[in-house]
Structure formats: structure tokens, C-alpha cells
Amino acid sequence: MDSFWKQSPHPQNSTSITVAQTLKETRAMFSTPASFIYLIAEVPYLASDNMQDMAADRSFLQEQNQQMKKMLAMQSLQVQRSEALKSENDRLRELLGSRKKLPGNAVIAEIIGSVPNPYTHQVVIDKGSADGIVDGLGVVDANGLFGQVVSVGKYSSRVLLLIDRDHAVPARINRTGTRLIAGGTGEVETLLLENVPISTDVVIGDLIETSGFGGRFPDGFPLGLVYSVSNGSGLTYAQVELRPSAQLNSTGHILVIMPDQDHNNFMQRSAKLSANEEFAQ
């Protein structure tokens, strides 16, 4: 027993990491047929979506088309501006000697199922390592941050939603720039700001966004709006709750944010570190 405690003070050097890695790979191997099962379970919904598209009448489609064209025009204007701003931003950062860059492109993925456990909030998406997805990438939808990739198979991955009890995001208040942590509560409608000092300037309606700290999520993605603040006397910390911006209940398309090369190296390093942490626990 004594020798058991003495061996390998540095878990990086021990065989346990290899065991953890093997288990992870086994999971990844099984996850391809598992995602196939999720796909079969999703077939009725996919089929009914298709049927709706087929049964839609001409005038409705024309109207929808018009609306989308308008939206596209508006958004392409914004994209043009943001492209210019992005390049200007990169130039300025270069002048300052900062290595941080805005994230590059993204991969569109479709949600093909959700894990049927009432205590975890995970969804299965139809893109995997074959499309360049790696562990730990941030996922957003049209309205805000959605979650992060936690396990990758060949043709599918699992995304942990940001409202899961095990999830937390480095965040900041958009109005004041105060840094905070936004943790999941396990409820679809609520995120909780953790350990907020009573004196923090936060009011109902404040936009909370990602701060980019920790390097896992790019900064500036909206997390949600504050809907309840209680900072009365007697409390150690203020209770600040926010409603997530992302449509976490919907089953549409989401974007997996692909990192640039620098970020990729960082992610690999941090994945190794987190494997060690897992072992240390």
C-alpha cells in the first residue's frame, strides 16, 4: 500500500494518462453508432420539417423569400463593416504587439438529438473529427453562446450546453466591463453569476458577454440579459440571474467556432492539462 502512494508524483508521466486516453478513444469509437441511434430517433422531426417545406404554398414562400432577402441585405452591410473593423482591429493589435486575434471561421452543424437525462444538458451534433472538430471548441447559435464541445466522434460530437450544472464561462458585464463567472444552474431559463460582490454595479437588463479569459471561448459573444438582482444586506454575494440569449431549446443549426493555429496549439495544451486534472481528481 505504501508503494502505491509513493509511485508517480507527476501524473503526466504515469500510465494512467494512457488509460484515460484509451477510455476516451473507446468512447469516441462507440459514439459513431450511438449518434446513428440519435439520428434514427430524430427522423420523425426531420421528416416533418421536410413535409412542411414541401406543403408550404407559393405565396408563403415568396413572402419568406422577401423577408430573407431584406435580412440578408441588412446583414451583408454589417458584415462589410465588421470585415473592415476586424482588419483594422488586427492592425492595431499588431501595432500594440498583442498576439490576440479575433476567431476565424466556423462550421455549421445540425443538432440531431439531446441526451435523455433530466440532469445533464447535452446535445448531439452531426459534425465530428472528420470535419475538423476537436474537444473544447466553443459553440454559438444565431443569438449567443450555446455551449462547448465535450466529446468528439468521427462523424458526430456532443455539446455541453452552457446551462448545465457542470458548465461555467468567464464573462463580463458589457456596460461596465466587470469580470465575472457565469455558471449553469441546470434549468433551461437561468444562468447564475457566481461570487458577485454586493457592491458590483449590475442592474436588470444588463448584457453579459464572454470575456475571452481562459482561452476557451472567443470574447464578445452574448451570454444573456440579467433579469433578477438581489443584493440586500445579509447576503455574502449578490444573487444575479440571467436569461440565456441562445435558443437552447430549439433544434436548428448551430455554429462551431474554429480556432486559428495559435489557438489550436493552446487548446491542445489545455486539453492535456485538463486530462491531468481529471486524473488528479
Partner 1 sequence: MSSPVLGIVLAVSVLLSFVLAVARLPADSITWFSYVRPQWILLICFFWAQQLPYRRGLLFAIMFGASRQSDDQTTYRRGIIFSWIFGLFVDVLLNEPFGLNGAIFSSLTFFVWRFHQRHQMHSVVQQSMLIFLVIFFAEVFRAFVMDIVADQPWDVLPLTTAFSSAVLWPFLSRFLLRLIGPGNN
Which residues, other chains included, contact 240 with Cβ-Cβ below 8 Å and sequence gap of 6+?
A: 192, 193, 196, 200, 202, 226, 228, 229
Q: Which is nearer to partner 1, 5 or 119 (CB)?
A: 119
- 148 torsion bin: left (phi>0), alpha (psi -120 to 50), beta (else): beta
Q: Which is nearer to partner 1, 2 or 53 (CB)?
A: 53
What is the smallest separation between the CB atom of 279 and partner 1, expressed in angstroms?
15
- What ranges in the chain are assigned the alpha helix state H? 2-6, 16-55, 58-96, 261-280
What is the smallest separation between the CB atom of 265 and partner 1, expressed in angstroms?
29
Q: Which is nearer to partner 1, 17 or 238 (CB)?
A: 17
Q: Which three cell numbers stand for residue 213?
A: 479569459
Q: Which is nearer to partner 1, 158 or 263 (CB)?
A: 158
Q: Which is nearer to partner 1, 128 or 212 (CB)?
A: 128
What is the smallest separation between the CB atom of 214 and partner 1, expressed in angstroms?
22
Strand partners, 238: 196
Q: Which is nearer to partner 1, 36 or 60 (CB)?
A: 36
What is the smallest separation between the CB atom of 80 and partner 1, expressed in angstroms?
37
Three-class SS state of 99:
coil
Strand partners, 139: 147, 256
The whole-angstrom separation of Cα 147 and Cα 256 is 9
What is the smallest separation between the CB atom of 113 and partner 1, expressed in angstroms?
6
What is the smallest separation between the CB atom of 281 and partner 1, expressed in angstroms?
11
Binding site for partner 1 (CB under 8 A): 23, 26-27, 30-31, 33-34, 37-38, 40-41, 45, 113-120, 122, 158, 165-166, 188, 249, 251
Q: Which helix (H) or strand (E) holds 138?
A: strand 138-140
What is the smallest separation between the CB atom of 152 and partner 1, expressed in angstroms?
13
**Residue 171 near residue 193 (C-beta atoms within 8 A):** yes
Strand partners, 147: 139, 161
Q: Which is nearer to partner 1, 248 or 256 (CB)?
A: 248
**Residue 153 near residue 145 (C-beta atoms within 8 A):** no
Q: Which is nearer to partner 1, 135 or 209 (CB)?
A: 135
**Residue 141 near residue 246 (C-beta atoms within 8 A):** yes
Axis-axis angle for helices 261-280, 16-55 (nearest 10): 120
Backbone angles phi, psi at 207, to 5 degrees: -90, 125
What is the smallest separation between the CB atom of 36 and partner 1, expressed in angstroms?
10
